[in-house]
């Protein structure tokens, strides 16, 4: 595919002409909506009084749950999330009331006059506390293979431990926003920053008590999402819809950054307990993982996220005996939600910790232990949940990357540097990624499209996926141009709209291009077949003695030609009025569902994934031992996107993952208030933090069978390449004690974590303990 094709909104982004919801032109009837949210982590609402607030000049509506015409619900899967709190609040940031007024200032004025009487209740704010209190959100799940208990006992070596991984804020540049414009009767037009327009539509319909056919949700583009708008874009949309419905006016709700950070859920933090058995060579014979996540105040996607974590705590390694248990705990915090990787990063961090610790216990380079445990090509290639690892690219990638990154030479260089520097240490790590592509909720793996050709030869492509900056519309544009054999200038990709393509899945699970690309292709195939028949008939009318057949018709270079009769050709645009005259329909709906997959959620067995995406990264860091500050000196990535093209997604994923692994720390105080609710207390990577030397390459000559243009999904997998940053930092810390002891370590590796880890390592040296205190 032509990789010089610019992103569809690149120019508009630069000139500022790209229309985000906050830029939309609305008439002077537009009202500002505001959410009034709970200041308590858990409290009974004894009484409230909105009357004074309602009297403020410019205020058009002040709403509580009592004003909801339909169901007071916005839970996407489980109906456990009231749209507005009724009777009690269960986290700081929970929506209680809504205000619509002529200006933001009037809203704020009114908010001050709302009177509420609370009775504070006991709050659960950590996973440990949730375990003590037994606040499981649902039954524990288990996936098991072999006999992990017996294999652990029989193993020559064992280790055990606990890993904590932190939450992560999505930090999409465009905060949650929705504009609702009432139509006639019960109609409502919704312009929402959502990854899931069909779900937004469904929830608004239920909330207002109208049919889905009255609700039209449109998404031109989002200013980033990363999973944060897979379900929780719905919330802001529901609030805007209620206010618009109550006032019969256009209403826009746009969350301020601080409010957005306080109200919305994050990546799930996890506590993972592990036990592993291995031999002298470092081959793992058995592992047990006990995964515990902080679900927050409601289910949201927590079970699907835990499931994906359970399906990724093998990462790239074959382990014959495995037991994985997952538990989701309810806490008094905003409901945690989808975030790029969707549990995968948490699962992979656990097994990568195990592999790294085995290497340190055996005093070997972790790279060596990894290689020994990779899934095999012809044997040892079945995962713990029964899916065969087909088209295994691990060895190909490892071999090429170790050479291109000069791993061996640089390992020597790092050792030399560390031997001669007291206050700085360098660390090096290579980590793999094997990520399963498909929604694990199998029925979600479907997509639709609606392709329209107009009689001037222009083409309008509608599909069910949403654009969040990732370039989905650009890809759909390229696919349509290639399939029709026309110049891209003929084609426009429409804003996503629920009245064009209904009942869609979220643009998520890295599957947006795979699913919608095939649906677009399907619609185009239908159109080409109809047009091909008609064009063959036109040619045949001209040459009745030597007829054209539809099989010979090709679409190339903006022409429709008979490949079996050179010279018989008609311009694509010239043909379309003829189609109209011949009463050939020029619009078609396309559809696609992923083949081959089948997953039994209950048994935890089957084939959840259509295929796997593979990648590896080598990262070198420099650590300042006095401050804990680290610099990524160099990162080499080799990633498999089939015949895809997405270098930018790989760079972005790695940097976003590096943020999760290092500086991005989400903290709440003892009353459940988010302390890190703005960029001055929450540190995402900046341009200063990206690798000084960043080398990203795509694995060559690996067409992916069975997918659109033989490409592979790319969105989520590269995020987990950043585990190499985390383990390179651990490697540098470990060098402080000459790799003799196992450092204490968790994720994120903030400066504080690093300094504490160095401190504890030095204590181990002082006490001259034997290595690996936690090993048995
Ligand atoms: N969403 C979902 C996802 O509903 N199911 C999934 O398996 C998934 N995976 C990644 C991201 N979002
Ligand atoms: Mo998702 S985490 O929006 O694929």
Mark 657-683 as b/e (b = at least 16 C-beta within 10 Å). Answer: bbbbbbbbbbebeeebbbebbeeeebb
Which residue, among 166, 260, 167, 229, has the nearest Cα to 677 in the 3D structure? 260
Residue from 338, 343, 347 to probe ligand 2 pocket by mutation (most atoms less than 8 Å from CB): 338
- Ligand 2 neighbour 365 (Cβ under 6 A): no
* pLDDT of 772: 41
Residue 716 is a catalytic residue:
yes
Residue stretches of the chain with pLDDT short of 70: 1-3, 769-776
Distance 126 CA to ligand 2 centre (A): 24
- Ligand 1 neighbour 338 (Cβ under 6 A): yes
Residue where the block lists tokens 């506390």: 129
Looking only at the bridges linking them, the beta strands covering 553-556 and 559-562 are antiparallel
- The residue nearest atom 10 of ligand 1, judged by CA position, is 509
> Kindly report the CA angle at 303 between 684 and 381, in degrees rounded to 5?
90
- Ligand 2 neighbour 195 (Cβ under 6 A): yes
Q: How far apart are CA 336 and CA 305, in angstroms?
A: 10
Task: Read off the pLDDT of residues 561-605 as tens digits, 9 standing for 90 and up.
Answer: 999 999 999 999 999 999 999 999 999 999 999 999 999 999 999
Mark 750-773 as b/e (b = at least 16 C-beta within 10 Å). Answer: bbebbbbbbebbeebeeeeeeebe
Q: How far apart are CA 468 and CA 220, in angstroms?
A: 9
* pLDDT of 233: 98
Count how many Cα atoms sit within 13 Å of the Cα of residue 52 in the half-sphere of its side chain: 10
- The residue nearest atom 1 of ligand 1, judged by CA position, is 509
How many residues make up the chain in this entry?
A: 776
Q: How far apart are CA 311 and CA 375, in angstroms?
A: 14
- Index of the ligand 2 atom closest to the CA of residue 342: 2
- Ligand 2 neighbour 736 (Cβ under 6 A): no
Which whole-number Å values give the CA distances from 423 to 230, 726, 763, in the listed order? 45, 19, 17
- My answer on whether omega of the bond before 567 falls inside 30° of 0, hence cis, is no
Instruction: Give the contacts of 112 (CB within 8 A, at least 6 positions apart).
Output: 53
| DSSP-H helix ranges across 428-507 | 472-484
- Ligand 1 neighbour 508 (Cβ under 6 A): yes
Distance 715 CA to ligand 2 centre (A): 9
Distance 229 CA to ligand 1 centre (A): 12
- The residue nearest atom 3 of ligand 2, judged by CA position, is 227
Q: How far apart are CA 707 and CA 718, in angstroms?
A: 19
* pLDDT of 3: 53
> Kindly report the CA angle at 658 between 652 and 659, in degrees rounded to 5?
95
| DSSP-H helix ranges across 331-426 | 344-361, 366-373, 394-404, 407-419
Residue from 509, 510, 512 to probe ligand 1 pocket by mutation (most atoms less than 8 Å from CB): 509
Q: Which H or E run includes 99?
A: strand 95-101
Which of 716, 740, 744, 752 is an active site residue? 716
Distance 509 CA to ligand 1 centre (A): 4
Q: How far apart are CA 53 and CA 55, in angstroms?
A: 5
Task: Read off the pLDDT of residues 143-174 as tens digits, 9 standing for 90 and up.
Answer: 999 999 999 999 999 999 999 999 999 999 99
- The residue nearest atom 8 of ligand 1, judged by CA position, is 509
Distance 716 CA to ligand 2 centre (A): 8
Instruction: Give the contacts of 177 (CB within 8 A, at least 6 positions apart).
Output: 20, 21, 22, 192, 193, 236, 252, 253, 254, 255
Q: How far apart are CA 414 and CA 275, in angstroms?
A: 31
Q: How far apart are CA 335 and CA 328, in angstroms?
A: 12
Which whole-number Å values give the CA distances from 644 to 117, 378, 513, 524, in the listed order? 57, 26, 11, 21
* pLDDT of 434: 98
* Number of Cβ within a 10 Å radius of residue 259: 17
SS3 label, residue 450: strand
Distance 304 CA to ligand 2 centre (A): 11
- Ligand 1 neighbour 301 (Cβ under 6 A): yes
- Ligand 1 neighbour 458 (Cβ under 6 A): no
- Ligand 2 neighbour 230 (Cβ under 6 A): yes
* pLDDT of 769: 59
Let me know how many helices (H) and strands (E) the chain has, helices first: 19, 29
Ligand nearest to the CA of 337: 2
Which residue, among 495, 513, 512, has the nearest Cα to 222 in the 3D structure? 495
End-to-end CA distance of the chain: 54
- Index of the ligand 2 atom closest to the CA of residue 510: 4
Q: How far apart are CA 600 and CA 577, in angstroms?
A: 51
Q: How far apart are CA 236 and CA 712, in angstroms?
A: 33
Dihedrals phi, psi of 553, to nearest 5 degrees: -75, 130
- Ligand 2 neighbour 300 (Cβ under 6 A): no
Ligand nearest to the CA of 508: 2
Distance 340 CA to ligand 1 centre (A): 9
Which residue, among 224, 191, 164, has the nearest Cα to 9 in the 3D structure? 224
Angle between helices 572-581 and 512-542 (to 10 degrees): 70
């Amino acid at each position: 595919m032509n990789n010089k094709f610019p992103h569809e909104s690149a120019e508009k982004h630069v000139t500022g002409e790209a229309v985000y919801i906050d830029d939309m032109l609305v008439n002077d009837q537009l009202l500002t909506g505001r959410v009034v949210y709970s200041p308590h982590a858990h409290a009974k609402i004894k009484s409230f009084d909105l009357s004074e607030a309602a009297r403020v000049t410019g205020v058009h509506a002040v709403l509580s749950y009592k004003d909801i015409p339909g169901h007071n619900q916005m839970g996407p899967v489980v109906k456990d999330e009231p749209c507005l709190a009724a009777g009690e609040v269960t986290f700081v940031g929970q929506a209680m009331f809504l205000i619509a007024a002529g200006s933001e200032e009037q809203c704020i004025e009114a908010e001050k006059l709302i009177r509420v009487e609370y009775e504070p209740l006991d709050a659960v704010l950590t996973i440990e506390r949730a375990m003590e209190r037994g606040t499981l959100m649902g039954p524990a799940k288990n996936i098991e293979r072999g006999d992990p208990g017996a294999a652990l006992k029989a193993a020559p070596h064992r280790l055990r431990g606990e890993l904590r991984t932190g939450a992560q804020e999505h930090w999409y540049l465009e905060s949650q926003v929705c504009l609702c414009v009432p139509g006639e009767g019960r109609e409502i037009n919704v312009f929402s920053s959502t990854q899931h327009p069909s779900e937004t539509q469904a929830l608004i319909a239920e909330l207002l008590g109208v049919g889905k056919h009255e609700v039209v949700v449109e998404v031109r583009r989002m200013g980033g999402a990363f999973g944060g708008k897979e379900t929780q874009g719905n919330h802001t949309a529901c609030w805007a819809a209620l206010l618009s419905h109550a006032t019969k006016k256009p209403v826009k709700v746009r969350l301020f950054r601080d409010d957005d950070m306080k109200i919305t859920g994050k990546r799930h933090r996890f506590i993972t307990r592990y036990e592993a058995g291995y031999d002298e060579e470092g081959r793992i014979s058995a592992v047990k993982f006990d995964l515990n996540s902080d679900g927050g105040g409601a289910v949201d996607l927590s079970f699907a996220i835990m499931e994906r974590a359970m399906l990724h705590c093998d990462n790239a390694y074959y382990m014959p005996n495995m037991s994985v248990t997952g538990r989701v705990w309810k806490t008094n915090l905003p409901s945690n939600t989808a975030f790029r990787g969707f549990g995968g990063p948490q699962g992979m961090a656990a097994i990568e910790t195990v592999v790294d610790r085995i290497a340190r216990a055996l005093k070997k380079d972790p790279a060596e232990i990894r290689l020994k445990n990779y899934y095999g090509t012809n044997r040892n290639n079945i995962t713990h949940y029964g899916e065969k690892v087909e088209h295994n690219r691990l060895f190909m990638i490892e071999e090429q990357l170790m050479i291109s990154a000069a791993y061996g030479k640089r390992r020597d260089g790092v050792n030399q540097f560390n031997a001669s520097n007291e206050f700085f240490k360098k660390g090096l790590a290579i980590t793999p990624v094997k990520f399963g592509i498909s929604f694990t909720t199998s029925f979600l793996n479907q997509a639709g499209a609606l392709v329209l050709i107009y009689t001037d030869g222009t083409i309008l492509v509608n599909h069910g996926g949403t654009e969040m900056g990732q370039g989905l519309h650009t890809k759909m544009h390229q696919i349509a141009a290639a399939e029709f054999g026309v110049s891209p200038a003929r084609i426009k990709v429409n804003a996503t709209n629920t009245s064009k393509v209904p009942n869609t899945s979220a643009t998520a699970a890295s599957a947006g291009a795979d699913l919608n690309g095939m649906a677009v292709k399907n619609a185009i195939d239908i159109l080409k077949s109809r047009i091909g028949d008609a064009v063959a008939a036109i040619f045949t009318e001209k040459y009745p003695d030597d007829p054209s057949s539809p099989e010979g018709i090709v679409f190339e270079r903006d022409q429709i030609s008979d490949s079996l009769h050179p010279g018989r050709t008609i311009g694509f645009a010239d043909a379309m009025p003829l189609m109209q005259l011949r009463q050939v329909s020029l619009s078609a709906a396309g559809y696609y569902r992923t083949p081959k997959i089948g997953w039994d959620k209950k048994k935890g067995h089957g084939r959840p994934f259509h295929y796997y995406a593979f990648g590896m990264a080598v990262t070198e860091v420099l650590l300042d031992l006095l401050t804990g500050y680290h610099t990524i000196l160099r990162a080499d990535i080799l990633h498999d996107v089939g015949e895809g093209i997405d270098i930018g997604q790989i760079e972005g994923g790695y940097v976003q993952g590096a943020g999760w692994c290092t500086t991005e720390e989400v903290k709440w105080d003892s009353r459940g208030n988010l302390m890190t609710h703005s960029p001055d207390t929450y540190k995402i990577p900046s341009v200063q933090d990206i690798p000084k030397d960043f080398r990203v390459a795509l694995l060559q000559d690996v067409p992916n069978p069975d997918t659109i243009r033989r490409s592979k999904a790319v969105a989520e997998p590269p995020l987990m390449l950043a585990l190499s940053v985390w383990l390179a930092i651990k490697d540098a810390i470990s060098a402080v004690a000459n790799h003799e002891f196992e450092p204490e370590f968790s994720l994120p590796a903030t400066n504080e974590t690093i300094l504490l880890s160095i401190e504890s390592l030095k204590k181990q040296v002082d006490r001259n303990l034997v290595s690996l205190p936690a090993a048995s």
